[in-house]
């Protein structure tokens, strides 16, 4: 990159007469700025091409005249009514997505915290192996793993049969095509996104701080809530974000493990785009989902604080 | 020194914070202004084309190749000796490049829309799409007319029920590849006989153990039938009634899912005991599990075809026509039907089947008799605006 002609001039200033020889040249504002911007350039171009342009295209699509069609084409007519229509018709799957995503995040946090804690403090020489096991599911495709849950939870499968024998489920009871299966699938699929950041921040905690708390006669539980938990908060914040955002937008789990009554907003957007060819409604719904999540994340991050993130 | 220079030039113009706030405000306004200016540029042109203008020069003579896109599992495999593709290659000296990349009509449409909608080639010479999508593509002008003289077998051997379809009565643009029936499949080991579509929607014993097809026209045709309308000619009110009827069944938890071919796995695994199904799938499943039955519901059978179309910009049209003519040779058609088990659209294939597999000759799901064909119906052709409105109602029903 730096060898191209257009880039060379701002960098090429080794012979400034004022500089005393042998001393490092003082970083001039111009040079630092120039290099900084140059380094930013590839990333900015990438973002402009693959984020800003598609984003504008999505916003424009959501404001298309809904009377358009593939035959006649579409015009951007500031049709704000698309948003009203989309919200009126699809508020149910929209709320359901946030609800399922939230539930899955809570379950992931509870399960993931215990697991990450065990790996960070109790695993000893098994630490690396356990970390590998956490990541191992990523070696197979997301779709295949979700489909295999369909086999495990099948109506005639051993899980359902066992639960029926134990009277947890009625004789006609089932797991597939229920909210339980969908939330369980989401929890399973996004658990590693929770465990890894939690582990990273738990692992950094100096064990002497916990020892100090017990030296000061703190009960282990008090020690945990006064020392370990606050110090692990950055992991909690990034873990919940990494789990909630994709879980709320996911629709594979709802589509494969749920019934039409568990459908999430991602599935609705997909079918509006590809089946109904109703691009304006689909784009408006995508925008609503995006804005909702951004607002929720902003509020959450403001309250939780980002200074110590990562 | 130099590091402070930019600050110094800014200094005299006033307090830094105010300036920053103003700049920020101006910047925000500029972004909003630019957005308002830019957004209208993102309109979309109409995708309708004129096939005559999007015709490619035919290179069939010097490039002996035909590129075909089809649904998975819809042709006899290459490994079989004397398979239909090898036979074509032998007869004509051309090479067949075959891909099974059509999984779903709507998905395939989305995949090729950008190119065909702007008169660009899609590097295929033939694609197989179901009636309604084929009709849509023909009306969008994305399909090349087939030279009548190059496909004598098609015009001579196409079975009578498939002639004269509303969207292409003279077979100018399409040739049916395979035909199928939509009906009901059930697992006789798990439930008694199911005779009608309304049982699927109402029988409390089947609650949550029924799937329907996610293709709107398949399922809505039956919903229209049970609410007393004619799927070949219905009004908006009748449509709304049928949608409500189905919505109620979905809301009650009667319907477990809306699926494509996946119902095969669910039926085999026992997750569902009955479903709306396509005839050929069920015959294939019966080989493994004889308890699976296919029935013609009281409401009738929906008849549909997947059709061979030559897309705009195809470079080997003459080769594609040779392909079509080849598959309308009764001997070839019988060989294909023996493997895919869908309804064979070729007259005379039944006689040829005697030589290949006599057990299939009497199978009315491959060679339907007149009585069966009398019960079949199709779906009303929809214009683009109706299709979008109906598909949207449909996605509301299937989406809870």
Give chain A's domains with CATH numbers: 90-304 (1.10.3720.10)
Which of A59, A76, A276 lies at the smallest CB-CB distance from B43? A76
Nearest CA among B148, B139, B142, B140 for reference residue B168: B139
For residue B220, what are its two tokens? 């809505």
Cβ distance B46 to A71 less than 8 Å, yes or no, reads yes
Cβ B400 vs Cβ A262: under 8 Å: yes
Q: What is the pTM of this model?
A: 0.83
Closest residue in A to B204 (Cα) is A172
- As a whole number of angstroms, the distance between CA B301 and CA B322 comes to 33
Clarify whether residues B236 and B353 are in a common domain.
Answer: no
Residue B23 lies in a domain: no
Closest residue in B to A57 (Cα) is B42
Clarify whether residues B263 and B392 are in a common domain.
Answer: yes
Clarify whether residues B324 and B227 are in a common domain.
Answer: no
Residue B31 lies in a domain: no
Clarify whether residues B342 and B355 are in a common domain.
Answer: yes
Cβ distance A271 to B256 less than 8 Å, yes or no, reads no
What is the extent of the structural domain holding B194? 180-303+381-398
Residue B52 lies in a domain: no
Nearest CA among A239, A278, A173, A163 for reference residue B106: A278
Model confidence at A31: pLDDT above 60: no
Which of B3, B6, B395 lies at the smallest CB-CB distance from A271? B395
Clarify whether residues B95 and B196 are in a common domain.
Answer: no
Q: What sign for the dihedral angle of Cα A70, A72, A76, A81?
A: negative
Cβ A216 vs Cβ A148: under 8 Å: no
> Looking at CA atoms only, how far is residue A61 from chain B in angstroms?
8
- Which residues does chain B have within 8 Å of residue A76's beta carbon, measured at their own beta carbons? 39-40, 42-43
Clarify whether residues B83 and B98 are in a common domain.
Answer: yes
Number of structural domains (chain B) is: 2
> Chain B interface, mutation test: which of A275, A281, A284, most B Cβ atoms within 10 Å?
A275
Cβ distance B270 to A76 less than 8 Å, yes or no, reads no
Residue B45 lies in a domain: no
Q: Residue B83, exposed/middle/buried by CB under 10 A (0-12, 13-18, 19+)?
A: middle
Residue B162 lies in a domain: yes
What pLDDT does residue A19 have? 46
> Looking at CA atoms only, how far is residue B337 from chain A in angstroms?
30
Q: B301 - beta bridge partners? A: B376
Q: Which residues contact A55 (CB under 8 A, 6 or more apart)?
A: none
DSSP secondary structure code for residue B121 in this structure? -
Cβ distance B255 to A260 less than 8 Å, yes or no, reads yes
What is the per-residue pLDDT across B269-303, written as a single tens digit (0 to 9) for each? 888 999 999 988 888 888 888 999 999 899 998 88
Clarify whether residues B125 and B69 are in a common domain.
Answer: yes
| Sequential pLDDT tens for chain B (400 residues) | 344 444 444 445 555 568 888 988 999 999 999 888 889 888 888 999 999 999 999 999 999 999 999 998 899 999 988 899 999 999 999 999 999 999 889 889 999 999 999 999 999 999 999 999 999 999 999 999 999 999 999 999 999 889 989 899 999 999 999 999 999 999 999 888 898 999 999 999 999 999 999 889 999 999 999 999 999 999 999 999 999 999 999 999 899 999 888 898 889 888 899 999 998 888 888 888 899 999 989 999 888 999 999 999 999 999 999 999 999 999 999 999 999 989 999 999 999 999 998 988 988 888 988 888 888 888 988 888 888 889 889 988 886 5
Cβ B292 vs Cβ B263: under 8 Å: no
Q: What sign for the dihedral angle of Cα B254, B257, B263, B267?
A: negative
What is the per-residue pLDDT across B303-314, written as a single tens digit (0 to 9) for each? 899 999 999 999
Cβ distance B2 to A156 less than 8 Å, yes or no, reads no
Residue B97 lies in a domain: yes
Clarify whether residues B159 and B75 are in a common domain.
Answer: yes
Which of B42, B139, B387 lies at the smallest CB-CB distance from A76? B42
H/E element holding B294?
Answer: strand B292-295
Clarify whether residues B137 and B112 are in a common domain.
Answer: yes
Residue B7 lies in a domain: no
Coarse DSSP helix, strand, coil percentages of chain A, rounded to the nearest 5 percent: 70, 0, 25
- Stronger pLDDT, A212 or B14, i.e. the higher one: A212
- As a whole number of angstroms, the distance between CA A222 and CA A210 comes to 10
Which of A30, A73, A93 lies at the smallest CB-CB distance from B45? A73
Cβ distance A259 to B253 less than 8 Å, yes or no, reads yes
- Which residues does chain A have within 8 Å of residue B398's beta carbon, measured at their own beta carbons? 260, 263, 271
H/E element holding B174?
Answer: strand B174-187
> Chain A interface, mutation test: which of B5, B35, B44, most A Cβ atoms within 10 Å?
B44
Band the pLDDT of A101: cuts 50, 70, 90: very high
Cβ A258 vs Cβ A181: under 8 Å: yes
CATH number, domain of B173, equals 3.40.190.10
Cβ distance A71 to B6 less than 8 Å, yes or no, reads no
Residue B12 lies in a domain: no
Which of A27, A151, A275 lies at the smallest CB-CB distance from B391? A275
- Which residues does chain A have within 8 Å of residue B392's beta carbon, measured at their own beta carbons? 272, 276, 278, 281
Clarify whether residues B283 and B342 are in a common domain.
Answer: no
Clarify whether residues B147 and B217 are in a common domain.
Answer: no
Clarify whether residues B196 and B296 are in a common domain.
Answer: yes
């Amino acid at each position: 990159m730096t060898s191209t002609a257009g880039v060379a001039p701002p960098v090429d200033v080794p012979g400034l007469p004022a500089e005393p020889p042998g001393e490092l040249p003082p970083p001039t504002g111009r040079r630092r700025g120039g290099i900084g911007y140059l380094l930013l350039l590839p990333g900015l171009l990438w973002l402009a091409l693959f984020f800003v342009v598609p984003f504008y295209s999505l916003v424009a699509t959501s404001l298309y005249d809904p009377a358009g069609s593939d035959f006649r084409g579409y015009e951007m007519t500031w049709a704000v009514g698309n948003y009203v229509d989309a919200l009126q018709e699809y508020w149910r799957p929209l709320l359901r997505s946030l609800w399922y995503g939230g539930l899955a995040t809570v379950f992931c946090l509870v399960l993931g915290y215990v697991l990450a804690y065990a790996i960070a403090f109790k695993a000893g020489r098994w630490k690396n192996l356990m970390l590998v096991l956490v990541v191992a599911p990523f070696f197979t495709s997301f779709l295949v793993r979700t489909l295999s849950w369909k086999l495990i939870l099948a109506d005639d499968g051993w899980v359902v049969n066992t639960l029926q024998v134990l009277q947890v489920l009625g004789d006609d009871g089932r797991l597939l095509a229920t909210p339980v299966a969908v939330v369980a699938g989401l929890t399973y699929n996004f658990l590693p996104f929770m465990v890894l950041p939690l582990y990273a921040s738990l692992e950094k905690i100096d064990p002497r701080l916990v020892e100090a708390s017990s030296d000061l006669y703190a009960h282990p539980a008090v020690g945990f809530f006064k020392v370990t938990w606050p110090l692990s908060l950055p992991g909690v914040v990034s873990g919940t974000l990494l789990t909630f955002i994709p879980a709320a937008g996911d629709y594979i789990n709802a589509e494969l493990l749920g019934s039409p009554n568990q459908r999430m907003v991602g599935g609705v957007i997909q079918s509006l785009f590809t089946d109904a060819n109703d691009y304006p409604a689909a784009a408006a719904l995508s925008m609503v989902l995006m804005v909702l999540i951004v607002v929720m994340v902003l509020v959450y991050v403001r309250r939780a604080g980002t200074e110590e993130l990562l | 020194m130099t590091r402070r220079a930019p600050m110094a030039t800014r200094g005299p113009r006033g307090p830094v914070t105010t300036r920053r706030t103003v700049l920020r405000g101006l910047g925000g306004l500029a972004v909003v202004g630019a957005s308002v200016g830019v957004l209208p540029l993102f309109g979309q042109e109409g995708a309708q084309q004129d096939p005559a203008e999007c015709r490619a020069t035919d290179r069939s003579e010097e490039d002996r190749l035909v590129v075909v896109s089809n649904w998975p599992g819809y042709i006899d495999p290459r490994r079989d000796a004397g398979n239909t593709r090898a036979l074509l290659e032998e007869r004509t000296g051309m090479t067949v490049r075959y891909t099974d990349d059509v999984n779903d009509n709507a998905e395939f449409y989305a995949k090729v829309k950008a190119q065909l909608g702007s008169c660009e080639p899609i590097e295929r010479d033939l694609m197989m799409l179901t009636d309604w999508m084929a009709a849509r593509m023909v009306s969008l002008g994305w399909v090349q007319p087939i030279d009548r003289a190059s496909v004598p077998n098609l015009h001579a051997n196409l079975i009578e029920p498939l002639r004269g379809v509303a969207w292409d009565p003279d077979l100018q643009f399409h040739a049916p590849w395979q035909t199928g029936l939509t009906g009901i499949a059930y697992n006789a080991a798990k439930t008694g006989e199911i005779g009608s579509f309304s049982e699927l929607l109402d029988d409390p014993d089947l609650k949550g153990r029924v799937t329907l097809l996610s293709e709107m026209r398949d399922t809505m045709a039956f919903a229209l039938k049970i609410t007393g309308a004619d799927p070949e000619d219905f009004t908006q009110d009748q449509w709304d009634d049928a949608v409500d009827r189905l919505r109620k069944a979905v809301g009650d938890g009667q319907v477990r899912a809306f699926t494509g071919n996946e119902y095969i796995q669910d039926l085999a695994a026992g997750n569902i005991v009955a479903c709306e199904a396509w005839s050929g799938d069920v015959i294939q499943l019966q080989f493994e599990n004889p308890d699976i039955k296919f029935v013609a519901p009281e409401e009738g059978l929906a008849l549909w075809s997947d059709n061979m179309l030559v897309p705009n910009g195809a470079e080997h049209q003459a080769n594609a026509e040779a392909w079509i003519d080849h598959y309308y040779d009764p001997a070839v058609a019988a060989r294909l039907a023996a493997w895919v088990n869908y309804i064979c659209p070729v007259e005379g294939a039944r006689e040829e089947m005697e030589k290949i597999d006599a057990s299939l000759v009497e199978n009315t799901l491959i060679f339907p008799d007149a009585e069966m064909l009398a019960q079949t119906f199709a779906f009303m052709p929809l214009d683009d605006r109706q299709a979008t409105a109906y598909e949207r109602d449909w996605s509301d029903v299937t989406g809870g």
